[in-house]
Amino acid sequence: MRTKAAVALEAGKPMEIMEVNLDGPKAGEVLIEIKATGICHTDEFTLSGADPEGIFPTILGHEGAGVVLEVGEGVTSLQPGDHVIPLYTPECRECEYCLNPKTNLCQSIRSTQGQGLMPDGTTRFSMLDGTPIYHYMGCSTFANHTVMPEIALAKVRKDAPFDKICYIGCGVTTGIGAVINTAKVEIGSRCVVFGLGGIGLNVIQGLRMAGADQIVGVDLNPAKEDMARYFGMTDYVNPEDVKGDMVAHLVELTGGGADYTFDATGNVDVMRTALEAAHKGWGESVIIGVAPAGAEISTRPFQLVTGRVWRGTAFGGAKGRTDVPKIVDWYMDGKIEIDPMITHVLNLEEINKGFDLMHAGESIRAVVVY
Indicate which single residue of 6, 40, 60, 364 sits in contact with Zn ion (rule: CB under 5 A).
40
From the number of C-beta atoms within 10 Å of its C-beta (0-12, 13-18, 19+), residue 281 rates as exposed
- Return d(Cα 275, Cα 196) in angstroms, integer: 18
| 62 in catalytic set | yes
Output the smallest distance, CB 285 to ligand AHE, in A: 17
Which 162-191 positions form the footprint of ligand NAD (CB under 6 A)? 170-171, 174
Q: Is 166 in the site for ligand AHE (CB under 6 A)?
A: no
Residue 352's nearest CA partner among 82, 7, 94 is: 7
Which 237-296 positions form the footprint of ligand NAD (CB under 6 A)? 239, 264-267, 270, 288-290
Residues that contact Zn ion, how many (by CB under 5 A) = 3
Indicate which single residue of 54, 57, 86, 195 sits in contact with ligand NAD (rule: CB under 6 A).
195
| 41 in catalytic set | yes
Contact between 170 and 108 (Cβ < 8 Å):
no
- Return d(Cα 222, Cα 293) in angstroms, integer: 28
Output the smallest distance, CB 23 to ligand AHE, in A: 25
Indicate which single residue of 7, 59, 274, 314 sits in contact with ligand AHE (rule: CB under 6 A).
314
Task: Count how many Cα atoms sit within 13 Å of the Cα of residue 28 in the half-sphere of its side chain.
Answer: 8
| 208 in catalytic set | no
From the number of C-beta atoms within 10 Å of its C-beta (0-12, 13-18, 19+), residue 219 rates as buried
From the number of C-beta atoms within 10 Å of its C-beta (0-12, 13-18, 19+), residue 365 rates as buried
Q: Is 197 in the site for ligand NAD (CB under 6 A)?
A: yes
Region from 47-55, 177-185, 207-215, 229-237 binding ligand AHE, contact rule CB under 6 A: 47-55
Q: Residue 325, SS3? A: helix
Q: Which residue is nearest to Zn ion (CB)?
A: 40
| 91 in catalytic set | no
Contact between 355 and 47 (Cβ < 8 Å):
yes
* DSSP string across 115-131: TT--TTS--SEE-TTS-
Q: Is 46 in the site for Zn ion (CB under 5 A)?
A: no
262 binds, among ligand NAD, Zn ion, ligand AHE, none (CB under 5 to 8 A by kind): none
Contact between 172 and 61 (Cβ < 8 Å):
no
Q: Which residue, 224 or 272, has its beta carbon nearer to ligand NAD?
A: 224
Peptide bond into 57 cis (omega under 30): yes
| 139 in catalytic set | no
| 279 in catalytic set | no
- Return d(Cα 166, Cα 107) in angstroms, integer: 23
Active site positions, annotated: 40-42, 62-63, 92, 95, 98, 106, 110, 170, 365
Site residues (vs ligand NAD, CB under 6 A): 40-42, 45, 170-171, 174, 194-200, 218-221, 224, 239, 264-267, 270, 288-290, 313-315, 358, 361
* Sites of contact with Zn ion (CB under 5 A): 40, 42, 170
Q: Where does this chain bind ligand AHE (CB under 6 A)?
A: 40, 42, 51-53, 89, 105, 110, 170, 290, 314-315
